[in-house]
Amino acid sequence: MRRFKRIIVIVLHSVGIGATADPGEFGDQGADTLGHVCQYWQGTLKLPTLTRLGLGNIPRESPLMGVSAVKPLTSQVGKMKPASADIDSLNGHWELMGTFVNPPLDTFPNGFPLPLINRIETFSNRKVLLNRPASVIAALKGFGEQESKEGDLIVYSSNDSVLQVSANEAVVSVNELYRICRYIRFMVDESRLRIGRIIARPFVGESPSDFKLTNNRQDLTIVPPTDTALELLTERHVPVAGIGSLIDLFSGRGITTQFDSRESNFKQLLEAVKTQVTGLVFADLGSLDEAGHARNPRGYGLALMQIDSQLNKIMTQLTPTDLMMITADQGNDPTYSGTGHTREYVPLIAASPNANGGQLGIRSTLSDLGATILSNFKIHNQLPGTSFLDQIS
């Protein structure tokens, strides 16, 4: 069996490829992130790198408009079905690395309990605004001006198990916002509430027309209940470079190398590919999920085309001993109702220079990816998932 010196995993945040067989449980019938974005662009969405890698060869009920199947297929392609009980970034990333959130985390469709809000106000000495589920764009447009004038905190949730806190950096410093969110994380962990992420979402701007998020986001997550593939790798002295929000999603556990967070995720990934020649490079390229939540298919397509161009630059750095795997954590159909994630299959592309192409089929869990990584580095474990390394080899 061929093994690789280095594996590069790239998570295209929220790029689903069609509803699973169980979307009715989540109210997501008919969701299809990639399919609907391609339809919105009427076949003009330019994804040459992903097309060359076999995106159009992944089995679907109907072809992706404007994304053709390629012959001969030089990559191994398929799709994976999420097995987690919830659909959000935390669950998706954890499942990729072989662990699950069980039982499901708490969500807050009617806002957070007043005792929690009161404690946030007392600790911060600031008034809480909103306290309802909302997209970050709606939260800033609706309450950013009041927050900026009065020094309040915008606290909001989503369909996921998150508590988000936004404040204008000119009014509430980033360090103060981090301090408030650390207190909320501690307070929640000491209570009976099970909230997956406390997220600091600072923004800048002087009016609703120019409010925008900064790169100073910070996610404070619950700790994975079991070891993940990342920790098993580092225990065996396999280097693991982490890039993007996934570092926070795993609470930094199992990550041996981080890069300058002031740089874009792509620049960090390019630096990692150039400098770390063995082990795992695990990257989340981001930038897509916000367009999904905002139900903005045009913005989603523009971001996807930019990422496609970036992937081409990564491809030029691969050696014959590299394996690159491209996937996603969940769907977020920007043409769907509401603002939440959507229960979908995620694409799976495994590519290596001079490798043969083929089909990996429909995998029953995202954990097959983590199992494949561990198998490659000869790490025996009892985490869920079935390796497909032999099919790649």
Residues 239 and 178 in one domain: no
Q: Is residue 130 part of a domain?
A: yes
Residues 69 and 192 in one domain: no
Q: Is residue 127 part of a domain?
A: yes
Residues 132 and 77 in one domain: no
Q: Is residue 254 part of a domain?
A: yes
Q: Are 273 and 317 in contact (CB under 8 A)?
A: yes
For residue 255, give the CATH number of its domain: 3.40.720.10
139 three-state secondary structure: helix
Query: Which of 375, 361, 381, 384 shows the shortest CA–CA distance to 3?
Result: 375
Alpha helices in the chain (DSSP H): 33-40, 48-52, 89-96, 114-124, 136-150, 174-190, 229-235, 246-249, 265-275, 289-293, 297-315, 367-376, 389-392
265 three-state secondary structure: helix
What's the mean per-residue pLDDT of the chain? 94
Position 25 confidence tier, pLDDT thresholds 50, 70, 90: low
Given 221, 255, 271, which residue is the final one in a domain? 221
Residues 57 and 146 in one domain: no
Residues 214 and 253 in one domain: no
Q: Is residue 169 part of a domain?
A: yes
Residues 87 and 215 in one domain: no
Identify the pLDDT of residue 23.
58
Position 127 confidence tier, pLDDT thresholds 50, 70, 90: very high
Pick the range with the lowest mean pLDDT from 21-30, 54-63, 192-201.
21-30
Identify the pLDDT of residue 364.
96
Position 359 confidence tier, pLDDT thresholds 50, 70, 90: very high
Position 87 confidence tier, pLDDT thresholds 50, 70, 90: confident
- Residues 15 and 358: their CA atoms lie apart, in Å, by 21
Position 175 confidence tier, pLDDT thresholds 50, 70, 90: very high
Residue type for position 222 = I
Q: Cβ atoms within 10 A of the Cβ of 68, count?
A: 11
Please give the radius of gyration of the chain, using alpha carbons only, rounded to the nearest integer.
21
Q: Is residue 109 part of a domain?
A: no
- For 203-206, the CB contacts below 8 A with 24+ separation are 203/140, 203/144, 203/166, 203/167, 203/168, 203/169, 204/168, 204/169, 204/170, 205/144, 205/148, 205/168, 206/148
The better pLDDT of the pair 9, 87 is held by 9
Q: Is residue 122 part of a domain?
A: yes
Position 24 confidence tier, pLDDT thresholds 50, 70, 90: low
Identify the pLDDT of residue 345.
96
CA 85 from centroid of its chain's CA atoms:
16
Q: How do the residues of the chain divide into helix, strand and coil, expressed in percent and rounded to 5? A: 35, 20, 50
Q: Are 301 and 261 in contact (CB under 8 A)?
A: no
Residues 382 and 332 in one domain: yes
Q: Cβ atoms within 10 A of the Cβ of 52, count?
A: 18
Q: What are the two backbone dihedrals, phi and then psi, of residue 131, each rounded to the nearest 5 degrees?
A: 50, 55
Mean pLDDT for 301-321 is 96
Torsion from C-alpha of 155, 158, 162, 166, nearest 10 degrees = -30
CA 124 from centroid of its chain's CA atoms:
30
Q: Which domain holds residue 329?
A: 6-101+223-392
For residue 145, give the CATH number of its domain: 3.30.70.1250
Residues 247 and 317 in one domain: yes
Identify the pLDDT of residue 339.
82
Residues 119 and 132 in one domain: yes
Q: Is residue 49 part of a domain?
A: yes
Q: What is the pLDDT of residues 134-161, one digit of tens each?
A: 989 899 999 999 999 999 999 999 888 9
84 three-state secondary structure: coil
Provide the domain count of the chain. Answer: 2
Q: Is the pTM of this model over 0.95?
A: no
